[in-house]
Amino acid sequence: EVQHQEVRDKHHIIAEGEDIPPPIDNFTDMKVPKPILDYLQAKGIKRPTPIQMQGIPTAFSGRDMIGIAFTGSGKTLAFCLPAIMASLEMEARVPFARGEGPVGLIICPSRELARQTYEQCVAMGQALKESGQYPEIRSLLCIGGISMADQADVLNRGVHVAVATPGRLIDMLDKGRLNANNCRYLCMDEADRMIDMGFEEDVRSIMSHFKHQRQTLLFSATMPRKIQDFAAQSLINPILVNVGRAGA
Ligand code: ADP
Ligand code: MG
């Protein structure tokens, strides 16, 4: 534990909460599948950033978490990778049937952000598929401007990870085009912006669709009071991972 704290201190990681998992200093510590490691390497991603060092094991442990780290610190991978790995784990136990899913749901405040996040998930799914050694992990983009026809194939075959803006997601849930019956992982990206934009009620409405115990994650660059209040109401015994800029 002393060693773990030294690693955190060195990387300006402040972790608060009960039973915090040890930070990783390499993606291999997390048993990340080889095809994903190779894909990350090819993108120049060799070592986890501080938010990933503590955020990935925390998210993967199943605990609720609040991840605070500055823009450009690699938050996207910190929540997408655990969503993909949780999907793989679930798929290994009970293969998806038609029309099922998602296991993981990532909500973003803008279409653009949702699209970029979705592309990261697709790329990891593609790497797994091309290896021929892992089951296919399918992601779905749920934003305005995407037609039902574009989504039909993935919807029919079962969705593992859905990346969405709140409005379109609620529309799809209400119309029964997507269901959260299997969903266990809910992540809000740019939670500060989501709350500022008035999406809080939408997020609560999305949460009401969940049937299983839910793991909830909030990621943000800042932690204003309203995020603390939202977390206090919506998260259970969370771990706070806060990464400061070196020297800040
Ligand atoms: P944030 O959401 O925290 O603002 P992003 O997730 O958008 O940051 O990541 C910013 C950039 O850093 C992206 O181009 C991403 O590919 C890159 N990146 C993410 N993780 C790593 C890493 N471990 N090593 C190097 N680059 C990374
Ligand atoms: Mg981001």
Q: Ligand 1 in contact with 120 (CB < 6 A)?
A: no
Q: What is the DSSP letter of 109?
A: S
How far apart are the C-alpha atoms of 159 and 151, rounded to whole Å?
10
Q: Ligand 1 in contact with 44 (CB < 6 A)?
A: yes
Q: What atom in ligand 1 is closest to the CA of residue 78?
A: 6
Say which range, 63-77, 94-108, 218-232, has the weakest mean pLDDT: 94-108
Q: Look up residue 167 and give its two tokens.
A: 């409005």
Residue with tokens 């534990």: 1
Expressed in angstroms and rounded, the spacing between residue 7 Cα and the centre of ligand 2 is 24
Expressed in angstroms and rounded, the spacing between residue 188 Cα and the centre of ligand 1 is 17
Phi, psi of 58 (to 5 degrees): -70, -50
Ligand 1, pocket-test mutation among 36, 41, 49, most atoms within 8 A of CB? 49
How far apart are the C-alpha atoms of 59 and 216, rounded to whole Å?
9
Query: Over the chain, what is the mean pLDDT?
Result: 94
Indicate if the pLDDT at residue 248 is higher than 80: no
Vertex 126: Cα angle to 121 and 130 (nearest 5): 155
Segment 124-159, tens digit of pLDDT: 999 999 999 999 999 999 999 998 888 888 888 899
Residues paired with 185 in a beta bridge: 104, 215
Segment 205-232, tens digit of pLDDT: 999 999 999 999 999 999 999 999 999 9
Nearest ligand to the C-alpha of residue 50? Answer: 1
Q: Ligand 1 in contact with 3 (CB < 6 A)?
A: no
Amino acid at 129: K
Expressed in angstroms and rounded, the spacing between residue 2 Cα and the centre of ligand 2 is 31
> For the whole model, what pTM was predicted?
0.96
Q: What atom in ligand 1 is closest to the CA of residue 43?
A: 16
